Amino acid sequence: MSAAPRNAYQRILELTPRVEEIMGRLKEPMDAELPTIADRFYLRIERHPEALAVFRGGREQLVRQRIALAGWLSELFVPPYDESYTEKRIRVGIVHLNSGVDEHLMIGAMNWLREELIGALRRITLPEGLHFGETAAALQKVLDFDLGIILSSYWTDLRSRTRNIDRLALIGQFSAAINHELRNPLGVIGTSTYLLKSKLAADASEDVKNHLAKIERSVARANAIVSGLMRLLKVEEPARDSVDLESFLESVIEEVPHPPGVTIELIPGAVTGRAAFDQDQVRQAVSNLIRNATEALGEQGRIEVRFASDSIATSISVSDNGPGIPQATLNRIFEPLFTTKSFGTGLGLTLSKAIVEAHGGELKARCGRVGCTFEIRLPHFLIGRPTIPRTQTSS
Ligand code: HEM
């Protein structure tokens, strides 16, 4: 154990070696209490519909979480609270953030645990030389330490969302001007290149032809970026329709061109609730994901489009068995104008995300050693965390 608190946060909390010593000594008597605390935590979840709604995976998921929570509780009494402890606990924040548990729920739930743990402290026989006041204070400090770690994941997420909002706002301010100022010169370059090509016709050397082709490709890309920016700015409040998911996705798949060596399979999951979303917008979002997957695969490969709908949300995922995306790139793929393709606009995924968020939903990407999965979740109603406000612009 170290001789002093390890970092500024522990210093403020006065999470000292003495606190670690007390917590370590509480492990044995507290262990017997933890299963009851985990059970009572779930009774409380069931009393709060907004908490219960998070468990989209039903009872099975609740059971999984109960086991994980019991493990988490037990580790509270296993100091030292060093870097490796912190690293393990950071994951808890990330899992909840990704499961749609908002920060208020986490703070409330931490208070449920506080009450239960302090209640248990009163029931157990304290190890010799420990008194209730000092042990309760030690426990509170460690719970505050853990809450701080969990909330830091939420703040990190908020900061990255804010960065994206700032970027989108900036894009908003410039896009209308860019559209106005660049369309004309781009049109002139395009037309002049075409005229040059037809005038030179067969007389042009290979070198000249190559340069003209490069100009044409670059003009096409610049036009695509301007159009992409304008589409991004025009994501409006979704007009939700009742949608037959299977035929909707069949029609989206049909529209995406792909090489003969790439197969795209539609795999239905359980559909127990109505799917309600803006068909035009979601068509754009899903076809972007399928198009990206075909580009990742090249000439050969397999894409699976899965869907399901329950009483809360519709989920649509697109998986490929391509080469995957390195973590550093994965962290940036939703940033506006970020692209790894030589002729990409860096706006496709930004647009898909903006559409999904306009529905109050989430678009997430995960990649393994083989391939990636992009998953869209669209709540039938706006629930949970507020979505990023979209940039107000005039086009
Ligand atoms: C301070 C309070 C809480 C603690 C300490 C806690 C602890 C945990 C832990 C340790 C995990 C497993 C993380 C992993 O996979 O590494 C987990 C998962 C999860 N928790 Fe919590 N939790 C808390 C509050 C909540 C609340 C309030 C909700 C919902 C309202 C919730 C919903 C979930 C869900 C949905 C999962 C994912 C389960 C799965 O699919 O495997 N948790 N929790």
pLDDT tens string, the chain, 395 residues long: the values are 445 677 888 888 999 999 999 999 999 999 999 999 999 999 999 999 989 988 877 888 889 899 999 999 999 999 999 988 998 888 888 888 877 888 999 999 999 999 999 999 999 999 999 999 999 999 999 999 999 999 988 888 777 677 767 766 777 777 777 777 888 889 999 999 999 988 887 777 888 888 988 899 888 888 888 887 777 776 777 888 889 999 999 999 999 999 999 999 999 998 887 788 999 999 999 999 999 999 989 899 999 999 998 877 899 999 999 988 888 788 888 887 777 776 667 778 988 998 998 888 889 999 887 899 999 998 876 533 333 344 443 33
**Last residue in a domain, options 161, 196, 215:** 161
Q: Which of 41, 45, 96 to mutate to test the pocket of ligand 1 (most atoms within 8 A of CB)?
A: 96
**68 within ligand 1 shell (Cβ under 6 A):** yes
Q: Whose CA is nearest to atom 5 of ligand 1?
A: 69
Query: 345 is in which domain, residue-wise?
Result: 241-379
Is-cis flag, bond preceding 79, omega within 30? no
Residue 223 maps to a domain: yes
Q: Do both 36 and 91 map to the same domain?
A: yes
Q: How far apart are CA 60 and CA 201, in angstroms?
A: 69
**367 within ligand 1 shell (Cβ under 6 A):** no
* Domain CATH number, residue 245: 3.30.565.10
Q: Do both 120 and 261 map to the same domain?
A: no
Residue 390 maps to a domain: no
Q: Do both 204 and 247 map to the same domain?
A: no
Q: Which atom of ligand 1 lies nearest, measured to the CA of 92?
A: 13
Q: Do both 141 and 215 map to the same domain?
A: no
Q: Do both 370 and 256 map to the same domain?
A: yes
Count how many domains the chain has.
3
**Last residue in a domain, options 233, 264, 285:** 233
Q: Do both 204 and 274 map to the same domain?
A: no
Residue type, 359: H
Look at residue 290 in the predicted model and tell me its pLDDT: 96
Residue 294 maps to a domain: yes
Q: How far apart are CA 264 and CA 282, in angstroms?
A: 18
Residue 387 maps to a domain: no
Look at residue 177 in the predicted model and tell me its pLDDT: 76
Residue 121 maps to a domain: yes
Q: Do both 193 and 94 map to the same domain?
A: no
Residue 391 maps to a domain: no
Residue 3 maps to a domain: no
Q: Do both 136 and 174 map to the same domain?
A: no
**Last residue in a domain, options 177, 211, 233:** 233
Look at residue 30 in the predicted model and tell me its pLDDT: 97
Q: Which of 69, 89, 151 to mutate to test the pocket of ligand 1 (most atoms within 8 A of CB)?
A: 69
Q: Whose CA is nearest to atom 17 of ligand 1?
A: 65
109-112 long-range contacts, Cβ below 8 Å, gap at least 24? 109/41, 109/44, 109/45, 109/51, 110/143, 110/146, 110/147, 110/150, 112/40, 112/41, 112/44
Q: Do both 178 and 207 map to the same domain?
A: yes
Q: Do both 105 and 221 map to the same domain?
A: no
Residue 393 maps to a domain: no
Q: Do both 305 and 288 map to the same domain?
A: yes
Q: In what helix (H) or strand (E) does residue 104 lie, and over which residues does it extend?
A: helix 103-123
**53 within ligand 1 shell (Cβ under 6 A):** no
Please tell me the distance between residue 77's alpha carbon and the centre of ligand 1 in angstroms: 18
Q: What is the dihedral of CA 16, 21, 23, 24, to 10 degrees?
A: 140
Helix (H, G, I), strand (E, B) or coil at 378: strand
**61 within ligand 1 shell (Cβ under 6 A):** yes
Q: How far apart are CA 230 and CA 226, in angstroms?
A: 6
